[in-house]
Structure 1
Amino acid sequence: MSQFDNVSVVKKANIYFDGKCVSHTLLFADGTRKTIGVIFPSSLTFNTAASEVMELNAGRCRIRLAGESEWRSYSGGERFVVPGNSSFDIETLETLDYVCHFG
């Protein structure tokens, strides 16, 4: 799917980690919420409330889920899942263009 139709977009950007991650929130009629954004090359730790599916449109990264010692590599066209009430470390090797699906 290359686009989302019939959504509301929150105008104010979500800016995290001094601008290293910038996203916008999409609100769907059925109540679901997604964010679309970019993460610039960096090493960051994100905390999750709800479970997340990170769909990568472009770029490359390595992630390590909370409690794991192994890093896993991902690139555009792939996705990874992060449990709710958890965290993950991400090392962005190339600017990451992503969609985050919540819940």
Structure 2
Amino acid sequence: MSKKINNATIVQNANVYFDGKVNSRTVETADGEIVTLGFMQPGSYEFNTSSTELMTVLNGSMVIKRENDDDWKEFTAGTSFTVAKDSSFQVKVDTFADYSCSYS
């Protein structure tokens, strides 16, 4: 599952969270879309959203629980999920998760 982004601008400074266990790079496409490409090491994390997020697992897997979910749900390579604007979600990673995230 490889997607190429043509004519993009990459922000060199990493977005680093949780003592470096989660990091990403911001990419702006020629259309003005903002995408982050990131990597999570094993651990449990909680994120807040300021816009709607579409996360796609590129490699590895993660188990997530959104603010209004009753149960945890696993997402593996090639699957995606959406998180609502102004909410939060929890993530558990057992091995690693390579992901992309787009915002709207």
User: Normalising TM by the smaller chain, what interval?
Assistant: over 0.9
| SS state at 2:19 partner | helix
**Which residue pairs with 2:31 in the alignment?**
30
Structure 1: segments with no counterpart, 5+ residues = none
Instruction: Please show how residues 56-95 of structure 1 align to structure 2 within 5 Å.
Output: 56-95=57-96
Deviations 1:58-81 (A, max 9, x none): 111110000323000111111111
Normalised TM-score (structure 2): 0.94
* Structure 1 runs of 4+ with >2 Å offset: none
Structure 2: segments with no counterpart, 5+ residues = none
Aligned residues: CA RMSD = 1.0
Letter matched to residue 90 of structure 2: D
> 1:52 and 2:53 equivalent?
yes
Normalised TM-score (structure 1): 0.95
CA distance in 2, matches of 1:68, 1:80: 12
The sequence identity of aligned pairs, in percent, is: 34
Deviations 1:35-83 (A, max 9, x none): 0010111100000000001011111111000032300011111111101
